[in-house]
């Protein structure tokens, strides 16, 4: 989800899945396991200017910029930032609940995340 978010997609979007498949096919990313993807050595050489957030604070700043660009509902965005500022991991269901959505399956939440 973090990779999709940093790229301006949702993790379930067809655009993100296609972009990730193409990057893998070109050898730019590699999978650590089923849910973890990272830049490959070839990807890092090809895109040396790409940086990963080095702290939770930097991640939060990027997330805030992305939410502004995507016009995320203000209250849900504020709740998300409050939730994530501790640097812990949360399930999608937990994020949905904490940001006021009844379920991670609702169309509004899918658009939000």
Looking at the whole model, is its pTM more than 0.85?
no
Render pLDDT for 76-111 as a digit per residue (tens, 0 to 9). Answer: 888 888 888 887 888 888 888 998 888 888 888 877
CA distance 39 to 27: 9
Q: At what angle do helices 56-70 and 74-84 cross, to 10 degrees?
A: 170
- At CB < 8 A and 24+ separation, what contacts does 61-64 make? 62/6, 63/5
Cα 112 → chain centroid: 11
* 14 pLDDT more than 80: yes
Q: What is the pLDDT of residue 34?
A: 72
- Please report which helix (H) or strand (E) contains residue 39, including its range: strand 36-39
Please, what is the Cα angle at 11 between 92 and 89, to 5 degrees?
Answer: 35
Render pLDDT for 19-70 as a digit per residue (tens, 0 to 9). Answer: 888 888 999 888 877 777 888 889 888 888 777 777 878 878 877 877 787 7
CA distance 27 to 33: 16
């Amino acid at each position: 989800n973090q990779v999709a978010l940093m790229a301006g997609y949702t993790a379930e979007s067809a655009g993100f899945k296609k972009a990730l498949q193409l990057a893998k096919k070109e050898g730019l990313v590699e999978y650590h396991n089923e849910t973890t993807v990272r830049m490959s050595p070839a990807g890092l050489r090809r895109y040396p200017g790409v940086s990963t957030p080095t702290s939770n604070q930097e991640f939060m700043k990027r997330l805030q910029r992305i939410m502004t660009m995507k016009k995320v509902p203000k209250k849900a965005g504020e709740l998300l930032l409050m939730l994530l500022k501790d640097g812990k991991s949360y399930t999608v269901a937990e994020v949905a609940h904490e940001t006021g959505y009844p379920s991670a399956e609702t169309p509004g939440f899918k658009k939000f995340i």
